[in-house]
Structure 1
Amino acid sequence: MEIQDVARMEISAARRRALASVALNLALAVVKGVAGVASGSAALMGDALHSATDVLASAAAWVGLWLAGRRHPSFPYGLYKAETVATLVISIAVILAAYEIGRWVIFGTPGVPDVQVALPVAVGSFVVALAFGLYQLGQGKRLGSTALVADARDYLADSLSTLVVVGSLVGQAYGLHLERYAAGAVSLFVFWAGGSLLFRTLKDLMDAGMDPAVRREVVDFMERHPQVRYVERCIGRTAGGRFIINLDVVLRTASHTVADRVADRLEEDLYRQFPRVVMAHIRTHHDHGSTFRRMTPMPGPDPEAPVHFASAPSFCIEVVDAETGEVQESEVVENPHAGAERGKGLLVGRWLLSFRPDEVVVAHGAGRTAAFVLREAGVRLVDANGSVCEAEPEAEGAPEDTAGA
């Protein structure tokens, strides 16, 4: 099954945004650099150096995203970590920028900048970097791209460092010489941002586990399936903003055929529900429960009339002792789809699954669609004598959504 289609689309979109980031960083670096030289503002030139380093960082993000969309037989898990490597390059580039700015603070000789030239450029650069950084951050989170998120954080760091420059230039207009202090603050902030990014990247490269909240969502999703008793184990690791997961799932059924079918369906549903899961391995187990749940259609006003499965006005839910066959609990629930004019079998089948039955009694047949839905979920269909009903040949295909189903 081609499970990476959504992930590849996300990577393609992320690549386009990374390329736009390269162009914008280059423009910011040139504008700041020219204005810094023209105005004599060392802080603005240091900020231009930060943006110039970001050009390399954004290019690294684009290269990483380009590689992440490629396949190679030597990398069966995909090249998704190429994006993480690109993020590592970004973090190192940010730290180098902080070092260069800090070196000037210690050994440089500050002058008196021309505020009329430098201030408009600094304000404009701040607005552009902040707006694009927030946009890039939102897109990176939406696409699950660590490289885009890293690039966005770099833009936000750039905007804040530019804001410090703006403050120093405003102070200069009032006779306060804050150039060296502004450059020092820029250096420290950029170094902190780069160090934090480096730490997060190393965690990813060392196969850090997936986020606990995401793991809980996966487990809850798995356990909602009617044939799943519980998830025994869920281990996941990060892969460039995406996940590789191993699951041990305990099923209600003892049939290997049903277990294989349920596992395939669980895998398909998992990829559909969580597009950032690029590989999942589901191992099924059987738990010999002491009880099982049985659902039986109840007769209408005329108890002598045959009970048509999907049109039954109600169903009886019974909790049965697996060894003795004794009914321990019972409850009658009304069939909300008994009067449906179209798709009755499909609606009733899905409704029954919400009660997580182990078997359903179909004394007079369940109809092709309802039987297909129930069997696909691993539910046993039995007749009034308790014998398992064999699947009809026409039930092997996709169910038809008809009124009589």
Structure 2
Amino acid sequence: METTEKTAFLSILTNLLLVAINTGLAVATGSLAIKASAIHSLSDIVSSVIILLGIKISQRSSPDFPYGLYKLENLVALTSSLLIFYAGYEICREVFGGSQPQMEAIPLAVLGIILSILINWAFSRYELKKGEETGSPSLIADARHNWTDTLSSLVILCALIGDAIGFAIDRYAALIVVAFIARSAFAIFLGSVRVLLDASLDYPTLNRIREVILADPRVSAINEIWARNAGRYKFVELDLSFNIRDLGKGHALSQELAGQIKKEIENIDRILIHYQPHPRDYMTIGTPLADDRLSISEHFGEAPCFKLITVYLRDGTITEEHLLQNPFLQEEKGKGIKVAQWLLQNRLDVLVAKRPQEGKGPGYVFGSAGVEVLLTEETEADKALVLAKKELHIPIPEGGERDD
């Protein structure tokens, strides 16, 4: 039995105990308010049974419901909100419904109601905590429902104390309680209706999903994002553009992103990612430079700087040219991998180098990102970049290269 089922079962036992206490007090005192409280606790038992059934049914799968029966929990939460509204009505009816018979054994009734308040308060806190831990909307709704029972017991306690000392203050306390009840019921009702109508996830969750995706330099754009709740679970659908043309590598990246999102966001049942290569009009080519900043460095991770040029593919024009200092030059471990990841963040598409990177950390980084590594015997960086453009079948503009 999982946590949600155990908590729902404990809710039933707790309300049975409260029914027994309130029934005994009603017989001993003759109080109509306590009788109403006992009837109210019976309605709570019905609510808890519905919640337990909703949790059990929501776990079942069916070919007719390929996305699961998770929304049954939201239907249950919606029902609980209506029960909370009804609880407010009951409180008003019992308080303003007319005169009550002379009560007896008021000290016993006061002790009994205080015990009921403590039991209800303690269990509502426990149930709310478990509901938030498991993300169960029905447990959260029931915990709030139990909290309204605590407030209604406070109204009864005020009525008892007022009767004992000769002051009728129960009517004013009831108005405050009904306001709390209406506010709680409306929040649960609105939340349930939003899920049942497939409203989007909250903005903080959507923004966190965007942050996880865009943190990967292999993703060029988020075209569309759809996400919704169903019970405690979330469904996410993404349309992404990758800086990768190889379909196998694109599939691997989509699986990696899905795993990362599930790690960051709780209770995600399913993630569907549609991906496509980003339409390429430009290409960024880079090469490691030696200390003179003119020749190609024999080393990759230990190169003091890198030259990156962005080329317009249609006519071969260089649109951007950057000389970037290696920020990891002083690192002791993992220097090559960190440099490779840094170059990906700068949108590197092709690396021109003196030595191959296969079997090394940078090679794995470039390989998974679809970065092509071209080997050259040319020493001068500018000449090597021109040769790379020819090898990549990029036109050489008339009049030669732009000299910035």
TM surpasses 0.5: yes
Quick one: which amino acid aligns to residue 110 of structure 2?
L
Instruction: Return 5+ residue gaps in structure 1 as ranges.
Output: 1-10, 389-405
Q: Does 1:43 align with 2:14?
A: no
Q: Are the aligned partners of 2:289 and 2:295 in contact in 1 as well (CA < 8 Å)?
A: no
Q: Out of 83, 87, 90, which is 1:93 matched to?
A: 83
Q: What corresponds to 1:164 in structure 2?
A: 155
After superposition, the Cα gap between the structure-2 partners of 1:191 and 1:326, relative to the gap in structure 1 and judged at 3 Å, is: closer
Q: 1:25 is matched by which residue type in structure 2?
A: N
Count of aligned pairs:
377
- 1:37/1:346 Cα in 2 relative to 1: closer, same or farther (>3 Å)? farther
2:380: which partner in 1?
A: none
CA–CA distance in 2 between the matches of 1:318 and 1:13? 57
1:268 alignment partner AA: G
Q: Is the counterpart of residue 376 in structure 1 residue 361 in structure 2?
A: no
Task: Tell me the CA shift for residue 170 of structure 1.
Answer: 2.7
Residue 320 of structure 2 is matched in structure 1 by 328
Conserved 8 A contact 1:361-1:383: yes
State whether residues 212 and 260 of structure 2, in contact with CA within 8 Å, keep that contact through their aligned partners in structure 1. no
Compare 310-319 and 198-207 and name the one that shifted more: 310-319
Q: Which has the larger radius of gyration?
A: 2
Give matches, 1:87-236, under 5 Å.
87-105=77-95, 107=97, 109-113=99-103, 114-178=105-169, 190=181, 193-194=184-185, 196-236=187-227
User: Partner letter of residue 366 of structure 2?
Assistant: L
Judge conservation of contact 1:349–1:374 (CA < 8 Å) in 2.
yes
Flag the 1:321–1:179 CA change in 2: closer, same or farther, 3 A: same
CA spacing shift, 1:191–1:338, aligned 2, 3 Å: closer
Secondary structure at the counterpart of residue 168 of structure 2: coil
What displacement does 1:278 show? 1.5
The CA distance in 1 between the partners of 2:288 and 2:5, in whole Å, is 55
What is the aligned counterpart of 1:82 among 72, 80, 95? 72
TM-score of the superposition, structure 2-length normalised?
Answer: 0.79
The answer as to whether partners of 2:91 and 2:152 remain within 8 angstroms in 1 is: no
Name the SS of the counterpart of 2:140 in structure 1: helix
Query: Retained in 2: the 8 A contact 1:300–1:307?
Result: no
Deviation at 1:34, TM superposition (A): 2.1
Task: From the superposition, tell whether residues 308 and 14 of structure 1 become closer, same or farther in structure 2 (CA, over 3 Å).
Answer: farther
Residues of 2 paired with 1:382 and 1:15: CA distance? 60
Q: Distance in 1 between matches of 2:296 and 2:348?
A: 25
Which structure 2 segments of 5+ residues have no match? 377-386, 393-404
Moved more, 79-88 or 186-195: 186-195
Kept in 2: contact 1:21–1:58 (CA 8 A) = yes
Q: Describe how 1:231-246 pairs up with structure 2 within 5 A.
A: 231-246=222-237
Q: Percent identity?
A: 27
Give the structure 1 partner of residue 50 of structure 2: 60
Counterpart check, 1:20 vs 2:10: yes
- 1:67-125 Cα offsets, whole Å, 9 max, x none, are 22332333211221122222233234334444445444565641344331122222233
Paired amino acid for 1:30: A
Q: Which whole-Å deviations, capped at 9, do the CAs of 1:336-378 have from their partners, x for residues lacking one?
A: 276534x555544444444453444444122423222332234
Two-structure CA RMSD over aligned residues (Å): 3.3
The answer to whether the 8 Å contact 1:77/1:279 transfers is: no
Q: CA separation of 1:294/1:143 partners in 2, compared to 1, >3 Å: closer, same or farther?
A: farther
Amino acid at match of 1:252: N
Contact 2:162 2:170 (8 Å CA) reproduced: no
Q: Is the 8 Å Cα contact of residues 209 and 236 (structure 1) preserved in structure 2?
A: yes
Partner of 1:398: none
Checking the alignment, whether the CA contact within 8 Å between 1:53 and 1:94 is kept in structure 2 is no
For residues 167-226 of structure 1, the C-alpha deviation after alignment (integer angstroms, 9 at most, x for no partner) is 222322321134566667656754664454334323322222222332222223222221
